[in-house]
Amino acid sequence: MKDLTLLLCDREEDYAQLLAEYFLRKKGIRFKVCVYTSLGEMLRQEKTPAEAGADILLLAESTWEAGLPVLPGVCVMILEETNPEVLAEYPHILKYQSADRVLGQLLEVYARREGRVLRGCRPQGVTQIIGCYSPVHRCLQTTLAGALSQELAERGRTLYLNLEYLGEWSREEDHDLADLLYFLKQEGECFRLRLESMLQRKGPLDYIPAMKAGENLPAVTPEEWLLLLERLDKECGYDFLVLDLSESLQGLLEILRYCTRVLTITRKEPMARVKERRYRQQLELYHYEDILEKTYFFSLPRISVVPSNPWEEGAGELTGYVKELLKELVGKE
């Protein structure tokens, strides 16, 4: 697969080197990064960014030199330092923020450029898709899915998606699952770049916040959900995809059928057992017996300290249980 070639021009060499190292460690997008401390140096060595085969020129505001052209044929972005009016005709990215946010904004700008498409995709079936769904409510499904995702992220590149009506809280300015679905039909590498620009991270784990407007969730068609899973599976380079599912979804059974494994939490209370039995009967009635074949039904042990959210650290009992569960799901490391 073709690398994404970035020319980074910044007088602050330490900053530029650290940012370049972060880009090079990025697992979802393969970067080739060339660092320069002045625009003149870059133009002398590369002749022009286009001739150098560059995809992106990331130019710090202070390195601009009047009279030196930034030639066409490359996506130019400005690392804004003090003055947003400098080179206002180009997209600006605030320089002094987290590298993660710089990268996200850079990919978002690049994805808007038509015709800048990388070739190559991941063969379908490489990603292990683990669906977490139980007909029994208040069974700690989301807590388990979050803990499971974080443990899987230690083994390979992992994405967690919450597809519940009222998912985890996110900031108003953050992208959410609705934004990702909006760009679902973009062709080529644009969808993958959009995804990378929207990702939030908890340590090594990637996640997209749930929809802020939960009432929009039932409006997403089964075809859209399956297309999303297919593109994540084939194009986005994940080893594991964890889905936190609910009956609010259209096409829930088709989503479960697409999963590699399904985790269903059960409980011993009479009403919980009735719901589990009716769920099994529904799968058999509508000829979804294949879901039963790949479902792991289990009860959680008694946990004295229950995390208040799926990202809370220090829940030793739950973490220990998830490690044992993973041996059943994906084997030992």
User: Which of 105-109, 206-210, 277-281, 328-332 is modeled with the greatest confidence?
Assistant: 277-281
> Between 99-111 and 13-25, two packed helices, what is the crossing angle to 10 degrees?
70
**178-212 per-position pLDDT tens digit:** 889 988 887 767 888 889 889 988 889 999 988 88
Give the residue-averaged pLDDT of 216-222: 87
What letter does residue 215 receive in the DSSP assignment?
A: G
The rounded Cα 257 to chain-centroid distance in angstroms is 22
Kindly report the backbone phi and psi dihedral angles of residue 168, in degrees, each rounded to the nearest multiple of 5, phi listed first: -65, 150
Q: Domain segments of the chain: what residues?
A: 4-111, 128-329
CATH topology for 128-329? Rossmann fold (3.40.50)
Give the residue-averaged pLDDT of 153-169: 83
At residue 314, does pLDDT exceed 50? no
Q: Which strands, in side-by-side order, build the sheet including 200-202?
A: 200-202, 205-208, 158-162, 240-244, 128-132, 261-265, 295-298
Distances (CA, A) of 46 to 39, 42, 49, 208, 263: 10, 6, 6, 38, 53
Architecture of domain 4-111: 3-Layer(aba) Sandwich (3.40)
- CA atoms lying within 13 Å on the CB side of residue 45: 12
**120-131 per-position pLDDT tens digit:** 334 445 789 999
C-beta of residue 242 within 8 angstroms of C-beta of residue 127: no
Q: What is the model's pLDDT at position 119?
A: 36
**Does pTM top 0.85 for this prediction?**
no
> Which pLDDT band, with edges at 50, 70 and 90, does 87 fall under?
confident
The burial of 90, by beta-carbon neighbours within 10 Å (0-12 exposed, 13-18 middle, 19 or more buried), is given as middle
Provide the H-helix boundaries in the chain. Answer: 13-25, 39-46, 99-111, 141-153, 177-182, 190-198, 222-235, 252-258, 270-285, 289-293, 316-329
Please check whether the two domains, 4-111 and 128-329, share a CATH topology.
yes
C-beta of residue 268 within 8 angstroms of C-beta of residue 262: no
C-beta of residue 242 within 8 angstroms of C-beta of residue 152: yes
Nearest to 28 by CA among 55, 1, 56: 1
